[in-house]
Structure 1
Amino acid sequence: MLILKDLRTKRSPWQFQIRGARGQYNILPGFIVMKFGEQLRSSIIDEYEWYYIAYDELKETLKKDYVSPPTKQNPKPKRQEWTEEDEGKFISRIEQELDKVYTKQKLKIIEISRRIGSTEKEVKDVVQRMESRRPRARDGSGVQDNDEPDSEDFMLLEEDLNEITAEVNDLAKFVQLNYTGFQKIIKKHDKQTKWILKPVFATRLKAKPFFKDNYDSDIIKLSKLWDTVKSKGKPVTGDSAAGGSQGSFIRQTTKYWVHKDNITEVKLIIMKHLPVLVFNSNKEFDEKDTAITSIYYDNPEVWDLYEGRLKKTEGAEAIRLRWYGGMDTETIFVERKTHREDWTGEKSVKARFAMKEKNVNAYLQGAMLPEAIFEKARKDGKKPAAVINEDERLAKEIQYSILKKGYKPVCRSFYHRTAFQLPADARVRISLDTELTMVREDNLDGRARAGDNWRRMDIGIDFPFSQLPPEDIEIFPYAVLEVKLQTQSGQEPPDWVRQLISSHLVEAVPKFSKFIHGTATLFPTRINLIPFWFPQMDIDIRKPATHNFGIHHAPRTNTTSTSDDEDDDSDDDYDISQESSNTAVANSSDENINRLRKTRDELGDRDLQNRATGNSLDIEEQLAALPLNEDYPLYDSDEEDDEVEAIEEARRIGGWPYYSKVIKKHARLAGQSVLNTLRIVKPIAKPSEVPRSGMQAQLGEGRIISRRFKAPKGKKIHVPVRVEPKVFFAAERTFLSWLEISIWLALAATTLLNFGDKPSRMSFFAAGSLTAIAAFFLLYSVGIYMWRSYAIRTRKAIKYHDKFGPTMLCVMLVLTLVLNAVFELKEREFI
């Protein structure tokens, strides 16, 4: 990651800019590039100050002395060869760094677990005292319970939980930064020395996997404690599924990407406001319980389900089979998503029914009818007959579609989901999907991946599926955050939700779909229409903090804490930490330590005191607020490349096909030249500038230029376009308005010709000019109407406003009136 540092304000905003398919940083005046070494030094956390990877020292170790001193003629002479002795020293040094980081991480995990356990006992004690408190008698004779908990006890507990939460976040940042440092130094080693160490060091990392923990078990424990403390010992109770038993449900969903560096912090932020949704609270946390796997179906010949979901056409469907947990799960959910346009008055719906895994193949092949699937449910009578009838109708429709349209398994999605929701309250439901992976399930290309089975059996939930070939798997680089709000409630989302989705921690990606992304990625030779986010996958979505939002160490209101205990055995932990600290100090130079402190003090904690409060606009919103400097759509397909290829193909054939394409090309270029000339003649209205916000001021005085994303060769980008019935009527009204103008012009021409004193050359000229103008604009309006109607039907993202028609009409009318006046004056001998 590169950070741009402002030498004047000491702030570190950065801006990413795209040119073609590769990303480049647009560095503004007054900024310097801060590389990973500077980023590491500026991200120092006090507690971990002596335990970070000695990145600069390792980098210096890789630099051998020059063979000869540098001169003006040869400022960079050749360095000495890297020897086996040098390699041994480097490996020994990096092993020490790995052991230092691994030891600190394991000790901190133990400390956090013990603190959570201690706080959990205190919370239970406070809740028990509150439940068993004795009220005073009415006459005052009752004995007052001095141990009765009050709001201050819960406030102190909340401070403890806040401190533990901040420590978990600090540990996650410490681990991620060190993991990145090890990856970068190994890459630099292999590049400079030509000795390949990456595969060997990967084995060492597996032996000391300090980066493997995702802290989910601690987050679940903290979530329960936060829920208890914030509700004063009376957490909301009810069905933990909170609507999960419904066959059909309607929600308004917004999706975001979360960078892996911010995943833990986002979880901790949500956890403080919404508890982690646990379906079985009596069971110990098991990572496989959070695994969700879905297999999507489509026709690999026409890809109608893929294109329907991509284009968001009315009634577009997605069919998938989903299960929760491992491959031994017996219950399989058959689901169908149906997209509905807003103008229909309906909402997009997801409907599903459950069946046994052993019956899936027979159902998909048509050997088992839906009546047999629900026969046992009818006999048991546990479900209402209306629900069973609805499920049976859905099963019939899905089975009919699969058999008639030839739907086959094409793509599998796997991820671990952490859901946050109040029990029995589905108004706000947030889920975070991590380790998202797409896998091919088809039998195309002569490979029987699934065979005759409904799913492939050579993989389970063993992420990252290293047994698969690279062409069969796509590991998504980000986590996917879904914020689901029930639309029927009509309530505004909480303030913390608005702050989260407007913060630097997330990147909004409307209409993102795992099915669409996986299909487009895994079938590059078969899919030509790609989603709009596809060309942006190489962009680093990390952004500078725009306001003071996130996990922080809050100042304590009192030196006394509910976790203070004279018998606490924290001295042992301190001795261990102190011993490790002394060892680390012995391996570090005083100069490096001073540099660490100096850099950290200069940069500060992101200049929180100068940061705007409230929900500031993020980078994308600020770019959208600025006037565009170029007149082209944001997303573009490679139509020009297609034209060149078509001409080259026609050249080989020769004859009329070749000449016709050449003529079309030159006609198009000539038309573009005419339009460019008209743009010069026509006055262009320029938008007024939007006042610069605080974030824009941080970006410097330079101009922010928006860039377009170009589709890869042979692909076209589909941009979602919302089309409602009133759009068609608007196009018709515009056409009728032009038609009315043409009729009035023709009527004026007829009046000049037939109702004058006597026909003259002047009257013939005026009538002829107006008739020609009327005929021209009649044909022009018909062409524009047909072009707009076609674009609306095909949902093309074009400019629907008319930039030339009104201007041409005014110019022609003015010229006609001027010429008419000149000829009339000459006729009467005034000039």
Structure 2
Amino acid sequence: MKFGAVIKDALYQDWQASYIDYGGLKRFIKDRQAKKQWDDADEAEFIKALESELEKVAKFQETKIAELTEKIDNYEDEVKNLIALSGESKRRESSSGNDNGEGPSAEHGDDPEGAEATDDSMSDTSDDEFEDRFVDLEEDLANVIADVHDLGHFSHLNYTGFIKIVKKHDKRTGFTLKGQFMRDFLEKRPFYKESFDAIIVQLSRLYNLVRTRGNPVQGDASAGGNQSAFVRQTTKYWVHPDNYVQLKLVILKHLPILVFDSDKAFAQDDAAITSVYFDNADLDLYMGRLEKTEGAEAIRLRWYGGMGVKLIFVERKTHREDWTGEKSVKARFPIAEHLVNDYIAGRHTMDETFEQLRKKGKKSDKEVDSMIKLAREVQAAIKHKKLGPVVRTFYNRTAFQLPGDARVRISFDTQLSLVREDNWDGRQRSGNNWRRTDIGIDWPFSQLPDEDKELFPYGVLEVKLQTQMGQEPPEWVRELVSSHLVEAVPKFSKFIHGCATLLPNRVDLIPFWLPQMETDIRKPATQKAQIQRPITSGSGTNSGTPSDVRSADLAQYTEPVSDDEDDEGNRHFATTSDEAGWADVDPQAAAEAKAFRDAQAKLQLVESRYTLDRDRGLNERSSSGHAASSGEGAAAGGRAGGEQGNNGSGISLTPGRVEYVSSFRAQQGKKIAIPVRVEPKVFYANERTTLAWIEFSVVVSAIGIGILSFSDPHDDIALAASSIFTTVALLSILYTAGMYTWRVRMIRNRQAVNYHDYFGPTALCGFILLGVIVNFALRIKQGL
């Protein structure tokens, strides 16, 4: 679909005049070119028109943000007053109830029952009025949420429009404007960089007050039962920037944003989290975490906020295999920033500091002992493993959780950046300090060279569930994680990704998700996890808006192609299982549309068959650079093509077919790490197999010795048969020892190889059969 048609269908009708005049700018280019060759005067007028459109869009967005902020402030005042009045009414009701209980009211003479009835009636009416007002406020705030969503969509749609019209201009006129426009215009009016975080945080707090009627739910830390009966599950997802605002708004309608100081106004520094990960030149910690080795550690220093923060947390994450019966743990202790370098160098210990906490009663004996032990172990690991700063991670986190309730915890990290901290290539980054000081939280760190940073293109959503055995997660969580807003990537690690991308010369083994980074994770919108205006709302319009399902579906589709523009391999086909219901069209019309797309897809498949056949040949599994992925790896990759329609990006070209890839192709000279679980019983199984082979070899050897022992000393045939069986037994023992050694090495190295032995049993049976045949043949020949 052309972008001109998309913007008409997807825009919010009430704001139509404030969108970029994409059609007008496109006609400007066509009309001028139809009259004469594009010249400097045309270029100047086009830039002026473009600048005017940019100013219009940016000013409208600023105005709407100010309006929404003021509206939320007014609602907040009203909600607080309503909560205060409601509380006062309940207190009066309670007081009135106590007075009536003491005796008859003088005002009602001898009819105390009538007095109680009158008071109860007034109380009920008051409660109903308060409840009605709360319901109205909840509906009003739902409209505000929809406005914020639409404004976020407004920002994205206009940014796409500016990029596309400039690209069209450069292609048709021969003048190059893209670089200048990005640098001199968009950077001066960066409306598209607005995250709406301040509004979302304030809106979350207000919506939670209204939803709980001024009595915010304080969650139960035990979440309703015995801790041993809980199932804990953590899954990570990637989120495309187009879906950031919608995702936050969907979650805040169910979980409030977790803030530690509700009275403090939101500041961007409050969301910043920075960590410096330590490793050695051989990247031992990276390999341990990547291969999920039992006991693998990750050591990092983390702080919250800007570079001026004085409190640093030293953290150690330890991986535990499931078969151990233990859970992976994360432990940490605080340290003053000015002591970090001395602590790392071994010149300072934390014993005295923690003992002071014990004396002051701020920590229990058990907690202090645990921190002292942790501090000593981390310090020893840094010394013996020769650890130093390697990779820094920075991101802004939005956390959603009921205070004190661990049943559903969601964190959403945006602007994730990975930065080199090492000094290995001769460049002094952190130097003798524990972290580099030339950057802070000034994303996107434009002062750094490209080889020192990796700006992750997606947000990272982490959903932590704690449910009782056999209990399903909340319905809204299931809808969220199965919606178009997220892409599941189990076991994703910021540290692993940073090492793999920033240190390619030192890394031979890469995570399974790395080859899929070029795959577009956007999907057609579904009816799940949508932001909709209340049906009874009078403030909304009946015309299509981005908050309505149909318009959102159009807007969230893969980036459309404008006329005169190549699709550059970025347009893909996909459908839902219920297209008629999804698009709200007649079933016959949906079937006709599907048939048309099927025909188009077949044409594309015919044109690309040669390329696909060639790619299949290149995609065979080899130990040097390719590895097959299964289980979690296959589920985590990008969506791949069906049986016949897999293109280079891994997206299905066959409508209606969406499958997960089963193999990834690594870069030349790299191997893909496949998650492999190794339990003790695997070693035992190898030992049992070896002992069985040795036992069988002894039996075969005994047969040979028996033939030799009970035959005539001059019987050459018996000697030949005995020699054959004994030789087979000796070769079997040597083969068994070799297979045992190879399997142990593969298991210890967590190699995803095929451990099944196809050759050994067949060869053994063949040699024994050959010995029997030779023996019978010689006996028969001797008899003749």
Q: TM-score, normalised by structure 1?
A: 0.70
What's the offset of the Cα at 1:431?
0.6
Is 1:93–2:52 an aligned residue pair? no
Paired AA for residue 268 in structure 1 = L
Summarize the Cα distance change of 1:822–1:347 in structure 2 as closer, same or farther, 3 Å threshold.
Answer: same
Q: Aligned residue for 2:104? A: none
Is 1:287–2:274 an aligned residue pair? no
CA displacement, residues 80-111 of structure 1 (integer Å, 9 cap, x when unaligned): 85421221132123223323322332333234
Paired AA for residue 275 in structure 1 = P
* 1:106-117 equivalent positions in 2, closer than 5 A: 106-117=62-73
> Which residue of 785, 788, 796 corresponds with 2:743?
788
Q: Aligned residue for 2:387? A: 407
Q: Aligned residue for 1:210? A: 191
What's the offset of the Cα at 1:731?
2.5
Summarize the Cα distance change of 1:637–1:413 in structure 2 as closer, same or farther, 3 Å threshold.
Answer: farther
Higher mean C-alpha deviation, range 804-813 or range 405-414: 804-813
> Which residue of 124, 138, 142 corresponds with 2:118?
142
Q: Aligned residue for 1:528? A: 508
Is 1:53–2:15 an aligned residue pair? no
Q: Aligned residue for 1:553? A: 532
Is 1:312–2:279 an aligned residue pair? no
Q: Aligned residue for 1:798? A: 753
C-alpha distance in 2, partners of 1:513/1:534? 11
Tell me the percent identity: 50
Q: Aligned residue for 1:513? A: 493
Q: Aligned residue for 1:225? A: 206
CA displacement, residues 772-795 of structure 1 (integer Å, 9 cap, x when unaligned): 777766655544443322211110
Q: Aligned residue for 1:84? A: 40
C-alpha distance in 1, partners of 2:471/2:79? 33
C-alpha distance in 2, partners of 1:488/1:358? 45
Summarize the Cα distance change of 1:228–1:65 in structure 2 as closer, same or farther, 3 Å threshold.
Answer: closer
CA displacement, residues 617-659 of structure 1 (integer Å, 9 cap, x when unaligned): xxxxxxxxxxxx9899998664599xxxxxxxxxxxxxxxxxx
Unmatched runs of 5 consecutive residues or more in structure 2: 102-112, 224-230, 542-562, 564-578, 591-614, 628-642, 644-650
> Which residue of 211, 216, 234 corresponds with 1:253?
234
CA displacement, residues 222-267 of structure 1 (integer Å, 9 cap, x when unaligned): 2223323333432124899x9xxxxxxx975321111111111111
Summarize the Cα distance change of 1:701–1:183 in structure 2 as closer, same or farther, 3 Å threshold.
Answer: closer
C-alpha distance in 1, partners of 2:734/2:456? 51
* 1:665-744 equivalent positions in 2, closer than 5 A: 699-700=654-655, 706=661, 708-739=663-694
Summarize the Cα distance change of 1:509–1:312 in structure 2 as closer, same or farther, 3 Å threshold.
Answer: same
Helix, strand or coil: the match of 2:309? coil
CA displacement, residues 444-491 of structure 1 (integer Å, 9 cap, x when unaligned): 333222232222222111111111122221111111111123489886
> Which residue of 74, 87, 102 corresponds with 2:58?
102
Helix, strand or coil: the match of 1:142? helix
> Which residue of 443, 453, 459 corresponds with 1:463?
443
C-alpha distance in 1, partners of 2:187/2:658? 47
C-alpha distance in 2, partners of 1:233/1:785? 68
C-alpha distance in 2, partners of 1:48/1:339? 52
Summarize the Cα distance change of 1:747–1:236 in structure 2 as closer, same or farther, 3 Å threshold.
Answer: same
C-alpha distance in 2, partners of 1:741/1:509? 47
C-alpha distance in 2, partners of 1:493/1:338? 27
Is the contact between residue 532 and residue 635 of structure 1 (CA under 8 Å) also seen in structure 2?
A: no
C-alpha distance in 2, partners of 1:253/1:428? 10
Larger RCO, structure (CA 8 Å, separation 6 or more): 1
Is the contact between residue 638 and residue 711 of structure 1 (CA under 8 Å) also seen in structure 2?
A: no
Is the contact between residue 20 and residue 161 of structure 2 (CA under 8 Å) also seen in structure 1?
A: yes
Helix, strand or coil: the match of 2:215? coil
C-alpha distance in 2, partners of 1:166/1:414? 30
Unmatched runs of 5 consecutive residues or more in structure 1: 1-33, 68-78, 243-249, 565-569, 571-591, 593-602, 613-628, 642-688, 690-695
Is the contact between residue 332 and residue 355 of structure 1 (CA under 8 Å) also seen in structure 2?
A: yes
Summarize the Cα distance change of 1:796–1:698 in structure 2 as closer, same or farther, 3 Å threshold.
Answer: closer
Summarize the Cα distance change of 1:385–1:746 in structure 2 as closer, same or farther, 3 Å threshold.
Answer: closer
Paired AA for residue 756 in structure 2 = H
What's the offset of the Cα at 1:726?
1.1
CA displacement, residues 582-601 of structure 1 (integer Å, 9 cap, x when unaligned): xxxxxxxxxx9xxxxxxxxx
Q: Aligned residue for 1:597? A: none
C-alpha distance in 2, partners of 1:94/1:496? 43
* 1:295-334 equivalent positions in 2, closer than 5 A: 295-299=276-280, 301-334=281-314
C-alpha distance in 1, partners of 2:33/2:191? 37
Helix, strand or coil: the match of 2:117? coil
Is the contact between residue 139 and residue 537 of structure 2 (CA under 8 Å) also seen in structure 1?
A: no
Is the contact between residue 142 and residue 534 of structure 2 (CA under 8 Å) also seen in structure 1?
A: no
What's the offset of the Cα at 1:415?
0.8
What's the offset of the Cα at 1:709?
2.4
What's the offset of the Cα at 1:288?
0.6
Q: Aligned residue for 2:349? A: 369
Summarize the Cα distance change of 1:559–1:715 in structure 2 as closer, same or farther, 3 Å threshold.
Answer: closer
Is the contact between residue 626 and residue 664 of structure 2 (CA under 8 Å) also seen in structure 1?
A: no
What is the Cα-based RMSD across aligned positions, in Å?
4.4
Paired AA for residue 688 in structure 2 = R
Summarize the Cα distance change of 1:826–1:60 in structure 2 as closer, same or farther, 3 Å threshold.
Answer: farther
> Which residue of 330, 354, 359 corresponds with 2:334?
354
Summarize the Cα distance change of 1:327–1:703 in structure 2 as closer, same or farther, 3 Å threshold.
Answer: closer
What's the offset of the Cα at 1:344?
1.6
C-alpha distance in 1, partners of 2:186/2:423? 36
Q: Aligned residue for 2:465? A: 485
